[in-house]
Structure 1
């Protein structure tokens, strides 16, 4: 018999502090991810953040939900993102994942969105009659390192034995490329980089209604789901540790020191993302800044789904070795689609969902 339990903020805190949690055979959530969930400005006290499935009194699986709001024609709509879904292999075949999803659909009145899923999860979602594909986001990944010490071991097990040599060889290749390419001077002196959204930025963000506000962005930057450390948590199946993980809040000013662009950047183990970008002006200055940031911080690759920024990058000199097309697919519950006609009109920034945390 399958039994499901739900956990809102207070219940999740109680679970983490219990002996029961420490006896679970695998982790349904890390403590720092749970703390972040509980501090989410968009989560109410009654929002369910985690569903646990038990089979014969044993933990069999879990489903994590990230409460959020999206704006449709200026009106906020409460919804939830599926952030994790996992079923222990020994309990598969009992439709546990479907049972957890059905409960989540009911709890959020069908207002759920799913993205950044694994191929295995996508197969599950595509078989769920209540879910429909939404409009995909098309993006680019720009590479600034040869990456042979990472690519070759992934493709051929032999190269694991000589990875230190590959790392040295990759450093030589990257160094030669750095000498060959012209060092870019962004020519921008009015730039500030901070660790949080300040009052000046918060006022600027008011020009962008229906998008993230300062409280949302500070919550994200101060409450990461991935923290710095050398070893992942073996009992947890999702991202938890990285060798390096950092957020940056960037402010770009005009010559008369008027704030004209703000952006959140995340850099994890050399992988740069731009989860949130706020500007109503041409992105050329931001692209120049990005060029210098990539060189200064030795970024290995950048993933970006921002159409206008990708267009600006393609039209200006950018220090990439090569680029690759990417697609981010979405699933929506049919009730959500039918209620607010979001398939074509809904706009997500890169960081919407849990991608910003990982």
Structure 2
């Protein structure tokens, strides 16, 4: 018999330190991710943030919820971001995902969103008849700044693993050519001063609060500090036995946030940017600025200094700037999209033409 159990903060805290959790065939959340959830500035004590499906005491499915606040035209609405829906292969096709989603909708008053969903789950959301059939779409761009065939191709097509040595040689040759082009034809300088910090202070707080009028999910220094200090992916050379039981990403060789104040030569704050770096892949969860040029220049400068291999963004201002820019050579420029599933009560807000959703909103900032 399948049973769905619900976990709020205190219940989840008790569960992750129980013998049932440690001895489970798979775990529905990592301990460090749970501890991060507990520090979410938008979390209420009674909020259900994890739903787990059990059968005969074994975890067979789970669904996470990340509490947030949507603000639009003086409307303030508590919502949840669905995160990490998983069902065991043995139980797929038995309605476990559907039942988890229906229960989450009930608990969160039908006010739910999810981003970057796996394509086959769209049918499950549609089946509930409680989500907008049309996803909210953000168009983005991915720049491949270095050749990295050895890491990109084999995971997509396992049979290509036999050519790993060849890919390494090709990467070396192509990157040597790129580096020579950069040395001869590109000069990376900046008209701005950068202050690197791992803590959002009052100066950052005042600046970003003045730059987010049309943003649905407004942030302050407490939100940024929670994110920076409580990542869901850790930098570890080797994954622990416990974390090996978790289906989704929990560790990589390198994961870190970079919070930067951008100042002009008069020492005036003109921009704030939060980068997330994962094994030489760079994303830009949050930007705040007086002029987008300072952001574009900051991006080009740091992909060079940090020797970034891929850069991904869905921010329309950055996308347009990168399409026009010629400040860094790339191997490939690829247009991509991110789809958001939106529950019906939230559709009027998400599909309003003037709204802005930052790349990091929801759980995207942690991945």
TM-score after normalising by structure 2:
0.91
Report the CA distance between 1:163 and its aligned residue.
2.2
Q: Does 1:227 align with 2:228?
A: no
User: 1 CA distance for matches of 2:344 and 2:2?
Assistant: 26
Can you list the C-alpha shifts for 1:54-98, whole angstroms capped at 9, x where unaligned? 223332211111111111124321100011111112222321111
Task: Report what 1:302 is aligned to.
Answer: 311
Structure 2 distance, partners of 1:156, 1:5, is: 37
Report deviation, 1:187.
2.6
Q: Classify 1:157/1:109 alpha carbon distance in 2 versus 1 (closer, same or farther; 3 Å).
A: closer
Where 1:234 maps in the other structure, the secondary structure is helix
Q: 5 Å matches for 1:253-268?
A: 253-268=263-278
Gaps (5+ residues) in structure 2? none
Indicate whether 1:213 and 2:217 are aligned.
no
Q: How does 1:231-242 map to 2 (within 5 A)?
A: 231-232=238-239, 233-242=243-252
Inter-partner Cα distance in structure 1 for 2:123 and 2:187: 45
Q: Which of 181, 190, 205 is matched with 2:193 structurally?
A: 190
The alpha-carbon deviation at position 123 of structure 1 amounts to 3.7
* Match status 1:251 vs 2:252: no
Report which stretch shifted further, 145-154 or 251-260.
145-154
Q: Which residue of 1 is the match for residue 350 of structure 2?
A: 342
How far is 1:161 from its partner?
A: 3.3
CA contact (8 A) 2:359 2:365 kept: yes
Q: Offset of 1:310 from its aligned partner?
A: 1.4
Q: State the secondary structure of the residue aligned to 1:64.
A: strand
2:202 to 195, 199, 211: 199
Q: 1:100 aligns to what SS in structure 2?
A: helix
1:196, 1:248 within 8 Å by CA — same for their partners in 2? Answer: no
1:127 is paired with a residue whose SS is helix
Aligned 1:88-167 pairs, distance under 5 A: 88-132=88-132, 133-154=134-155, 156-167=157-168
Q: Mind listing any 5+ residue stretches in structure 1 that lack a counterpart?
A: none
Specify the SS of the correspondent of 2:128: coil
What is the number of equivalent residue pairs in this alignment? 355
- The structure-2 alpha-carbon separation of the partners of 1:299 and 1:123, relative to structure 1 and needing over 3 Å to count, comes to farther
Aligned-pair CA distance for 1:28: 0.4
Judged with a 3 Å threshold, the aligned counterparts in structure 2 of structure 1 residues 87 and 155 are, in CA distance, closer, same or farther, namely: closer
Matched, 1:180 2:181: yes
Alignment of 1:260-279 (within 5 A): 260-279=270-289
1:274-324 deviation digits (Å, cap 9, x = unpaired): 00000132x222212211111111111111111111112222323123211
Alignment partner of 1:186: what SS?
Answer: coil
2:338 to 312, 316, 328: 328
Q: Residues 336 and 150 from structure 1, CA distance in 2 versus in 1: closer, same or farther, beyond 3 angstroms?
A: same
Distance in 1 (alpha carbons) for counterparts of 2:339 and 2:126: 12
Q: Name the SS for the 2:62 alignment partner.
A: strand
How far does residue 165 in structure 1 lie from its aligned partner after superposition? 4.8
Rate the CA distance shift 1:98–1:157 in 2: closer, same or farther, 3 A: closer
